[in-house]
Amino acid sequence: MELQGRTALVTGFAGAIGSVIATSLANAGCDVIGVDKVKHDIVRMSIDEIKAESKRDVKYFQCDLISKEDIHKVFQDLKSGDVDILVNAAGRLSINKIEDLSDDVWDEDIGLNLTAPFVLIKLVIGLMKDKGWGRIINISSILGIKATGSISSYIASKTGLIGLTRAVAVECADKGVTCNAICPTVVDTPFITSFLEHLQTATGNSYEETKEATRQSHPTKQFTTPEQIADLVVFLCSPAGQNMTGTAIPIDGGITIA
């Protein structure tokens, strides 16, 4: 319970990664504010489970994070100073060759993966500095470090998110506020289905064969799990992580060095 008394805002709360991060932070002592685009009824069971397990308070705000106006509406009901920890875990992945990628899809991918974290950081960082304590964690990707074909908007946004992480870290390094990016490889969640289907089309193999070949391409022969990401989030928020800032941390089974 080393984060007792802290409040964490987690975007992508309804997703497989965001929900696990929220649960882990609550179990570490945080009250949690979840933000996602789905209706409250869809996440009600998850909220009740986190409350029952952690005995912490959990609030939820429905918000289209692509809309700056929606984000600001959330903060009309929420005081910026209530947020000690911000985890930008919401994301989207679009697959298309650059010449076939529409301007609208590009704008939506950049909007959710990069602009929304910027807007949220802007809303909370001032009071974090004033309080002398804050943790900002951006869920980027190994594709913010390396590249592959047909997902240019995702790569651009996740690379930009690492740059934003570094810029924020420099600006608040002496204010007790840290900012780090976590860069997972493939995480075995529904989010990766479209990516694996794209690889399946390219190879002609079955979906399961494609998934297993992707797993085997990692030196550890393992995908990253949401729980591993969540544990790293908690570590970065703990006293052990207080002198880590501006980093882009791969959690990738060694694939970026292979």
* Residues designated catalytic: 154
Q: How far is residue 87's CA from residue 22's CA, in Å, rounded to a whole number?
A: 9
Q: For residue 45, what are its two tokens?
A: 């069971």
Sheet strand arrangement including 134-139:
58-62, 31-36, 7-11, 85-88, 134-139, 177-184, 248-251
Residue 9, classed as helix, strand or coil, is: strand
Q: How far is residue 24's CA from residue 152's CA, in Å, rounded to a whole number?
A: 32
> What DSSP string describes 221-241?
S--B-HHHHHHHHHHHHSGGG
Q: Which amino acid is at 134?
A: G
Which stretches of the chain are DSSP H helices? 16-27, 40-54, 68-77, 103-110, 116-131, 152-171, 193-203, 207-216, 226-237
Q: For residue 54, what are its two tokens?
A: 């952690």
Q: What residues contact residue 91 under an 8 Å CB cut-off, 6+ apart?
A: 12, 112, 113, 139, 141, 158, 191
